[in-house]
A and B are shown apart, each in its own frame.
Chain A
Amino acid sequence: MTNHLIGQGGMTRRGLLKSSMAMTAAGLMLPAGMAMAQAEPKKGGTLRIGFNSGSTVDNYDPGVWDTNFVQVFAQARHNYLTEIAADGSLVGEVAESWEASSDATTWTLKIRQGITFHSGGTLTADDVIASINYHRGPDSTSAAKPIVDPIVEMKSDGPNTVIVTLSGGNADFPYLMSDYHLPIMPAKDGKIDPTSSDGCGPYKVDSFEPGISASLSKHQGYWKTDRGHFDGLLLLALPDPVARQNALLTGEVDVINQVDLTTVSMMARNSAIRILSVTGNQHFCFPMDTRAAPFNDNNVRLALKHALDRQEMVDKILYGYGAVGNDNPIGPTQQYYAADLPVNSYDPDKAKFYLGQAGLTSLDVPLWVAEAGFTGATDSGTLYAERAKAAGINITVERAPNDGYWSNVWMQKPWCASYWGGRATCDWMFSTAYAAGAPWNESYWDNERFNTLLLQGRSELDDAKRGEIYHEMQAIVSNEGGVVIPMFASFVMGVSNAVATPDVVGANWDLDGFRAVERWWFA
């Protein structure tokens, strides 16, 4: 089926999708001819979403959330200091406005007045401080600890002002505060209760059965009047892809995420639903341990970067639902995306040339893969191996078990499959996975110029200068980095035609940046 589609010349449906995607900056694409008439959002109805995740361990503790069921559930009942809007820009939420000192080390956040919690109390600066403090300190088990670690001090200045001091300048600090681990929860005696569902978001929890479902109803006192259109929500854990798709097709749910790409074309034939696909920062990748031979030689890394057919991977692994990656983790929808970088294309001759530069005539490397790394990793590895043969590179695909993949293979084996949901800013992405010494620097990469620029960019408040810095950094990563990034994978959702979506759907995370519950409505 795939060959047939790729062999076809001219304008296929998929080709049309790609070109329309290129046209809309935010990467929103709808199936051909399916433009949604935009009307004033209507209120009411209960939105039912079927998720690919959901487990009995899901809970209210913001430090451990890591699947989209809990992430969307969190955004439904909580507000954050800031929010990444659907177009990728940053808007204030609990924080009305913010101001940085000239070196970006001290931030003054104005807290919005009149926000009420589901339990009735009014949100103040103390709640904000307690909520962030929960993730700080030596006893913290929070996954967001690295994000809040640079905070040296947080203090309130009256009930509506919070002053944050950082150990070093960071112009992206307000962006970091939109992280899904950092909801603002009510404080009692300076501490939040991580077992409570109380928040100030658009919906309050009626019932929650971990691993099965959560049901929520409208928070009547919600401060945003133009958001949170539904009367209630029903979030269902439907991990089996077929069960999830059946639920949408039989009308048991209105929205599902992670549509199985192998059958998406058949689902799209159903006239009662539509496929919604957005390409953001989520990318699939193959990080190499740049400390170990042969990957310590950049010529070998470049050879490998020229030994795979990226477009073919997008076509065959993602069935066209994605975009070609250029070994640069910054996605096309980001503010500082460097669109003019030379593309690392499939070129066996170039790959051979770089092998020669490294003093090699052929190369044998194992590549560890598992579906846990990303869906389609095994097939991607095989495809990579096939294409690399032409360059004299012999890749052995080693299949690893999904269980324990992140502890036994990732960052343990010299070359493996991995993925990133992506981060909203260059600094965030780079300092998480590319800065020397960062705990998740999966390629153990240490580039002096890059690290210097990272620090410069972080505290630089001037947009133009930052643009230059990040442009150079992206060039360095693409050319010298230790991570092969063949593709950006779209978030592919199935949506009932009864549900209306805004013109621009957020691409920073699945389900409209986890905010579908707040931004969508019933047509």
Chain B
Amino acid sequence: MHGIWTMIRQRLLLGMLTLFIISAVIFGATELLPGDLARELLGQSATEETLAALREQLGLNESAPVRYWNWLTGVLHGDFGMSMATNKPISELVGTRLGNTLFLALYAAALAVPISLTLGVLAALWRNSIFDRASNALALTAISFPEFFVAYILILWLAQSGIFPSMVRMTEATTTLDFLYMAFLPALTLTLVVTAHMMRMTRAAIINLLASPYIEMARLKGMSPMRVVLRHAVPNALAPIINVVALNLAYLITGVVVVEVVFVYPGLGQLMIDAVTNRDIPVVQAIALIFACAYVLLNLLADVLSTITNPRLMHRK
């Protein structure tokens, strides 16, 4: 087990470095955006006089490196700072949105992971059968359509007839059950979008193994095909499967902006769009960092899990 902890420590440090570089890249990129917060806040009605007054109030007259440094030191002290546009602490702004986003991601993952793994295993088991071809074709079709198109089709079929709501509206009175009901269409959309990737990876990993001598041996012993796959193939295929699941989970957290917009889901993606539009740089950076964290942590988790599931890696010299 000692090796694992060393690995986690090393990876965490590398992750920190990655995050630092990302923060600099994001800041640089946001600096390239035309216009500034004061201009965006006042819009078409801005005059030079009011702009100058607002810039002064917001501290936009500082140079870019100074603003970046102030923000970075804040973050290192655990303080994401205040949103310039709304004058609220960023942690407060991001907190509930992050919760919503994680909830939707977990909901979609809870649907997508079992479905795609089952489909993948079955497709490998009955490869080249009608079932294999049909599930492949369906999954590939779903992933080929843009997300918003899938979402609109679902709204047309399932929302306009009144079965499911077309938008997610949360209040304090919303129970978890209501929430599951309201968020079903967005979760289903995401499921359709990510299933193909995980399913085909599972199928490919297992089929790859099915050609190995030890599987041949198991077959020759007279094991049932299902048992061969579940008992002998799947454990060895776990590493690639875990990796693809982690990658898709990260996508579910960071890449769902379009789905959020279509279903009016108050998640992080919408907040980020808002912040970019308003040039609220601290918020953009905070969210970008959260997204980067999601990738770094999920990748770390995937690596650790695939190491644990593979004894050869655990006892590497």
Contacts and interface: CB of A to CB of B under 8 A. Distances in A.
A213 interface: yes
6 contacts: A55-B277, A240-B262, A246-B167, A249-B160, A407-B39, A440-B45
Nearest to A181: B45
Contacts of A66: 42-45
Interface of B: 33-35, 39, 41-50, 53-54, 57, 83, 85-87, 93, 152, 155, 159-160, 162, 165-167, 169, 261-264, 266, 270-271, 274-275, 277-278, 280, 283
Closest 4 CB pairs of A and B: A404-B34, A404-B35, A57-B85, A143-B45
B53 A408 contact: no
Given A56-B278, A242-B152, A247-B166, A211 B270 contact: yes
A145 interface: yes
A215 B83 CA distance: 23
A439 B35 contact: no
Interface stretch (A103-111, A134-142, A275-283): A134-142
Contacts of A64: 41-42
Contacts of B45: 66, 143, 440
A240 B34 CA distance: 23
B274 A250 contact: no
A372 to B, nearest CB: 9
A57 B83 CA distance: 9
Given A56-B86, A56-B93, A239-B261, A211 B167 contact: no
A238 B35 contact: no
B262 A242 contact: yes
Contacts of A56: 83, 85-86, 93, 271, 274-275, 278, 280, 283
Contact of B159 (A57, A246, A439): A246
Contacts of B50: 140-143, 145
Given A56-B85, A145-B49, A210-B86, A236 B39 contact: no
A243 B46 contact: no
Interface in A399-441: 401, 403-404, 406-408, 410, 439-440
Interface of A: 55-57, 59, 64, 66, 138-143, 145-146, 209-213, 236-240, 242-243, 246-247, 249-252, 401, 403-404, 406-408, 410, 439-440
A238 B48 contact: no
Given A406-B44, A439-B48, A250 B166 contact: yes
Contact of B35 (A212, A243, A407): A407
Provide the main secondary structure of the chain B interface: helix
Nearest to A57: B85
Nearest to B165: A252
Contacts of B41: 57, 64
Given A250-B159, A403-B35, A407-B35, A238 B53 contact: no
Given A140-B50, A407-B39, A243 B263 contact: yes
B278 A57 contact: yes
Contact of B47 (A146, A236, A243): A146
Contact of A250 (B35, B162, B261, B278): B162
B166 A243 contact: yes
Given A251-B162, A401-B34, 5 more contacts: A55-B278, A56-B274, A239-B261, A243-B166, A406-B35
Contacts of A239: 261
A408 B35 contact: yes
Given A56-B271, A211-B274, A404-B34, A246 B166 contact: yes
A202 B165 CA distance: 30
A252 B35 contact: no
Contact of B43 (A213, A246, A252, A406): A406
A407 B54 CA distance: 15
A140 B47 contact: no
A28 B291 CA distance: 49
A401 B35 CA distance: 12
A140 B166 contact: no
B138 to A, nearest CB: 25
Contacts of A142: 50
Given A211-B271, A247-B264, A141 B53 contact: yes
